[in-house]
Amino acid sequence: MKDTLEVVHRLNAHPDSRCWYVAWSPKGSLLASCGGDRAVRIWGKEGDSWECKCVLSDGHQRTVRKVAWSPCGNYLASASFDATTCIWKKKNDDFECLTVLEGHENEVKCVAWAPSGNLLATCSRDKSVWIWEVDEEDEYECVSVVNSHTQDVKHVVWHPTQELLASASYDNKVCIYKEEDDDWECRATLEGHTSTVWSLSFDPEGHRLASCSDDRTVKIWKECAPGDGDSSTDAWKCVCTLSGFHSRTIYDVAWDRLTGALVTACGDDGIRVFKEDTTADPEQPVFNLSAHVPKAHSQDVNCVAWHPQEAGLLATCSDNGEIAIWKYDSES
């Protein structure tokens, strides 16, 4: 392994609580974090250091599990164990709570914006995925509730260019959704993991999907032509499984849109970067471990997020309440 992954900054982001998730704004000028302290924090760079610009502490009554920026960067959504999702609107250097989305029966585990900015997806421990529509007056309406999972839904992610949604669940499955006749329906169910699927990430083009699991593997799925003339479902197949690299649950996976590198966050306190072998058959891709930091935070690593504009810049967060900023340098 000639590639390097070096820590650049460490931030004591959520003292005395877990830091669950970090998300870069679309231009990468801000970093949002959330945690067990019920707060969302917004970070910005001042000179060579990162400073907390504001703390959003009045939106939720319980742990904030995920945060997501709208594609325009003017809105931030936060999903909480209090069964609500808050929509925050950016006002100069501050944020105000615009609206609170209610309806899930219990913990909201994830929130994600569609690439158009007109749709929002949330998922919950209540086993459902909700699709929300946003109008020009910033009004949010739930337009579809999909119950394709049989257990807690951990994560939702949108395709980078299409209105195609994927979800991951405690039921070991991944579901793919599309809108059909003004309603959303499950078009494919990806089965192969033997334990909880924690997170998902599409590749830069959206042709493939990476999933990570409690079974300590990462699977790469590729969309393929459906067989037997069946147009009612879409076909995805597992074309690669990364196993033997992780010693505990893999909590997050992220595909870098700039370099194509794949990074994982693991319960063994490790961060691992994988590079695809460009000489391999695209139908049978090969990913090699190119960089590994075995003791990244001193506790579980919960999230990994590539910077959207600066190649190789990576943010991670941990159960110890810390955020770390890393620089990944590749030999090729």
86 contacts: CB under 8 Å, gap ≥ 6: 56, 59, 60, 77, 78, 80, 97, 99, 100, 101
Of the candidates 244, 263, 238, the residue with the CA atom closest to the CA atom of residue 328: 263
Domain boundaries, the chain: 4-225+233-329
30 residue type, one letter: L
Cβ(67)–Cβ(40) under 8 Å? yes
pTM of the model: 0.95
Place of tokens 């890393």: 326
Is the pLDDT confidence value at 5 over 80?
A: yes
Percent of the chain's residues with pLDDT above 90: 90
What is the H or E stretch that residue 222 is in? strand 218-224
CATH of 4-225+233-329, one of 3.40.50.720, 2.130.10.10, 3.30.9.40, 3.40.50.10490: 2.130.10.10
**Half-sphere exposure (CA, 13 Å, Cβ side) for 246?**
30
- What is the overall mean pLDDT for the chain? 95
* pLDDT value at 240 more than 80: yes
Sign of the Cα torsion 313, 201, 297, 286 reads negative
pLDDT digits (tens, 9 = 90+) for 71-109: 999 999 999 999 999 999 999 889 999 999 999 999 999
Question: pLDDT tens digits, residue range 108-145?
Answer: 999 999 999 999 999 999 999 999 999 989 999 999 99
- For residue 326, with 0-12 CB atoms within 10 Å meaning exposed, 13-18 middle and 19 or more buried, which class applies? buried
pLDDT mean over 204-228? 90
pLDDT band of residue 229 (cuts 50, 70, 90) is very low
| 226: confidence class by pLDDT, cuts 50, 70, 90 | low
Q: Say which DSSP state 234 is in.
A: -
Q: Are 306 and 254 in contact (CB under 8 A)?
A: yes
Has residue 146 got a pLDDT over 70? Answer: yes
